[in-house]
Amino acid sequence: MNLTLYKLIVHKFLLSIAMLAIVTGLAQAQTRDSSVFLFDVARDEVVLSNNANIPRSIASITKIMTAIVALDHDRNLDRHIQVKAGGKLPAGIHTRRDIMRAMLIRSDNRAADALAADFPGGGKAFVRAMNQRAQRLGMTTARFADASGLSANNRATAGEVIELIKASALYPFIVETSVQKQALFDINLRQRVRTIELENTNRPLLFEFDEIVISKTGFTSAAGWCVALMVSKNDRNFIVVVLGARTKQERLDITRKIMYNQLKDIEIDYKIEMLPWYQRLFMD
């Protein structure tokens, strides 16, 4: 047996032990009240599931649906619309591109409200469109009450969030924007240009893992700390969903463990599959 094969076997064995401990931990105290889901998109199979079918508030993960409905309504991102005061962008007229960037990167609630108000029929019609889109995606228990996710009545299961993230992957603007670590906005104020920098609400993970291709965090008191990610490994996409973590640190810890262990183990399996058949015989 060559050295490369031996190292892979040992590495896989150690990771299997680590994964068993982590799966046990996820099912016990650390995620007692959380929903956790890891889904292999390419193989259409569940890798890890805990409380995945419990409907719960999803906070600002809602904004992924807001982006989908807004883009379906109008792909013209250069058109200007009104934003009210109280958000990350100054009150006034901004391009839909900047408004959507502020919403996806910094989770600006006023930006989400502006996109909903721009919809034919206004905010109520926009929410109806969100719920209709959810039904078409097979999110049968999901319900949306507003565009920002502030309402506790924006609810879905972790499994339904998987469908939402899969759908968002078909929108290049969402894919490109949601993982930007920060964004600059040139704002005209009193005939002077002022530059505003907004940092991504998921900066720690985006700096730590370069495999993330879609990202959205969320938090309200009703929802707890939430995150939904699409991750690319060996040309295969995986979706990670954590809903209802008790603290920001717990959300980060759970996601890191999935990234460093479950997905790493999958990567080792892939490398083993790529070995010549006569070397893989030694694995049996």
**Quick one: pLDDT at residue 280?**
40
At which residue do the structure tokens 């879905």 appear?
156
**Quick one: pLDDT at residue 20?**
46
pLDDT below 50 — which residues of the chain?
A: 5-6, 8, 10, 13, 16-24, 26-31, 268-284
The residue range of the domain holding 49 is 3-283
* CATH number assigned to the domain comprising residue 193: 3.40.710.10
**Quick one: pLDDT at residue 256?**
94
Number of domains in the chain: 1
Q: What's the pTM value of the predicted model, to 2 decimals? A: 0.83
**Quick one: pLDDT at residue 12?**
53
**Quick one: pLDDT at residue 214?**
98
